[in-house]
Amino acid sequence: MSSIDRHRERSIVSKHPRATAKQIKHYIEYFLNEEDLHGVIIVAGLNDLLYSSNNGRNDVIMEDIVAHVIQAGLKAREAGIMNVHLSGLFKVENVRDEHINLFNYLLKQRCKQLGFGFIFNSNIELNDLYDGLHVNNKLGNMKLKHNILQCFDSYSCGH
């Protein structure tokens, strides 16, 4: 989860390594109660896909994963945050591309229905990841920053 307050040029990052979308849905309550936020970015779902793939499961219930991410966004909205943005996933090693594509498609559709911003990250490629999973090179970080700021600057992302 991350938030950006363009008025004060301040951002707060709350990381939850290895957390699932369902866990993020619960963690967001503390974050929302402790900070005065004008916008929030929620990034969740990849660990669910990784755990499913690593356990050899073929029964990934994509709708359930997306529902947990959406519920985190709804909690933010209930807390009075109107600028809620949900991040699409970028392709990573060890997760099938079709799972990433389906997740992003379903999440984008729900964002449209609920008036949430959807952050497109399809421009981030495997060579932008230092370990096949995390963005951590100059170009990858610049792409991610651009994708996020595009949503907050114009609120035209994914609508």
Count how many residues are written for the chain: 159
Distance CA 41, CA 19 (A): 16
In a domain, 159, yes or no: no
- pLDDT value at position 104? 96
Low-confidence ranges of the chain (pLDDT < 50): 5, 58, 155
Residue 34: what pLDDT?
Answer: 78
Q: What is the dihedral of CA 148, 116, 81, 90, to 10 degrees?
A: -40
Here the tokens at position 112 are: 């449209």
**Tally of domains within the chain:** 1
At 85 the pLDDT is 94
Full residue range of the structural domain in which residue 59 is found: 2-154
| Residue 107, domain CATH | 3.40.50.1110
- Amino acid 110: pLDDT: 97
The pLDDT tens digits for 14-48 are 778 889 999 998 888 887 887 777 788 999 999 99
Do residues 5 and 39 make contact, with C-beta atoms less than 8 angstroms apart? yes
**pLDDT for 139:** 87
What was the pLDDT predicted at 134? 81
Residue 12 CB neighbours (<10 A): 15
pTM of the model: 0.84
pLDDT for the residue 60: 58
Which tokens in the block code for residue 152? Answer: 């907050």
